[in-house]
Amino acid sequence: MQTEIFAQTSGLDSVIKAGAKLEKATGDMKFDTAGSPCYVNGILFLTNNNFDELMKSRVFKMTAPGKIEMIRENNGMTATLKLNKAGNLFACEMMGHRVVELDTAGKVLRVVVSEFNSKRIDGPNDMVIDRKGGFYFTDSQFIGKEQKMQDTPAVYYVTPDGAIKRVVSNVVFPNGIALSPDRKTLYLANTQGKYILAYDVEADGSLTNGRNFAELELSKENIAKKSEMSGTDGIAVDSAGNVFAATTQGIGVQVFDKSGKHLGNIPCPVAVNNCAFGGKNLKTLYVSAKDGIYKIELKNKGFLTFK
């Protein structure tokens, strides 16, 4: 299945490979909601999440087109998988209320973090790892009817020695999170707002100078309702500093240059929720959607934030 790309502006010519089309990477496999593409040494890891039956929330790996194998059941509603420096996977378990480390066979090696201020964290959603071995993660408190233990949605930083501190606490729905190529800027998606936010990264991992980085296009429905909810979910950044934002309101992946200028959108047949770089040369953008994982070839490489 292929979907033609129609650029809203000529700016997409600078990021999308000539003649590239969005195509389904996971074939005819059925999903409740596919999520969290993570490419590791020729293997694409991904998730299927079911908000009604948690036992159906699973982690898979795809070793070749159409060859998909389940490696973990009842995954705590894993929202994000990220390759770490050890060659394993960090997993944000929203309904497991923790971040864990998995090996590439799906075995839980350890619980990385599960508490802040001696209280359970609520819904870890997305994460990005820095060069020092620490990482940032978002807790959007998106946990349905379960009791919230923290006093606010937040962004946390876990230091290389395992200490945790809250670094953002004034964003209504912190979600996707990414670093710039020089690791000096952190980007944050606010699902209920119309801006991608940016922060300066300090030496101790704290964040300063919070500001609006890019204004997202809103769906016609939300404009009609006078709602500023962009539905922005996962975000990714390429080596040239372009920012790719998966939006759940039917607009697809919105693309911005390093100054925050909107270059155009990559449309998808269904609502999308995340995106990540992979492929042999990290020039493939994998996009997770309701019905599976899509991919498209780009001009610029992604990069591993911990290198």
Residue 4: pLDDT band with limits 50, 70, 90: low
Calpha distance 160→162 (Å, rounded):
6
How many other C-beta atoms lie within 10 A of the C-beta of residue 225? 11
User: What is the number of structural domains in the chain?
Assistant: 1
Q: What's the confidence (pLDDT) of residue 10?
A: 61
Which one has a higher pLDDT value, 145 or 303? Answer: 303
Query: Does some domain include residue 107?
Result: yes
How many other C-beta atoms lie within 10 A of the C-beta of residue 240? 15
**Taking 60 as the threshold, does the pLDDT of residue 19 lie above it?**
yes
Q: What's the confidence (pLDDT) of residue 196?
A: 98
Q: Which range marks the domain in which residue 92 is found?
A: 2-297
Q: For the residues 198-208, what does the mean pLDDT come to?
A: 98
Calpha distance 250→229 (Å, rounded):
12
CATH number at residue 261: 2.120.10.30
Which DSSP category does 29 fall into? -
Greatest Cα-to-Cα distance within the chain, rounded to the nearest angstrom: 53
Calpha distance 81→298 (Å, rounded):
22
Query: Does some domain include residue 101?
Result: yes
Query: Does some domain include residue 216?
Result: yes
Closest C-alpha to 4, from 252, 271, 300: 252
SS3 174: strand
Using one digit for the tens of pLDDT, what is the confidence trace for 238-269? 999 999 999 999 899 999 999 999 999 999 99
Calpha distance 245→266 (Å, rounded):
10
β partners of residue 121? none
Q: What's the whole-model pTM score? A: 0.96
**Residue 56 near residue 50, CB atoms below 8 Å:** yes
Q: What's the confidence (pLDDT) of residue 230?
A: 93
Residue 291 identity (one-letter amino acid): D
Calpha distance 106→150 (Å, rounded):
29
Residue 39: pLDDT band with limits 50, 70, 90: very high
Query: Does some domain include residue 303?
Result: no
Helices (H) and strands (E) in the chain, counts: 1, 27
Q: What's the confidence (pLDDT) of residue 54?
A: 81
Q: What's the confidence (pLDDT) of residue 2?
A: 56
Sole residue written with tokens 């990005």? 128
Query: Does some domain include residue 302?
Result: no
Q: Which two tokens stand for residue 53?
A: 């039956």
Q: What's the confidence (pLDDT) of residue 8?
A: 45
Residue 7: pLDDT band with limits 50, 70, 90: very low
Query: Does some domain include residue 304?
Result: no
Residues 6+ positions from 48 with CB-CB distance below 8 Å: 31, 32, 33, 34, 35, 56, 57, 58, 60
- Number of residues in the chain: 307
Using one digit for the tens of pLDDT, what is the confidence trace for 41-82? 999 999 999 888 887 899 999 998 889 999 999 999 999 999
**Residue 273 near residue 234, CB atoms below 8 Å:** yes
Query: Does some domain include residue 115?
Result: yes
Query: Does some domain include residue 207?
Result: yes
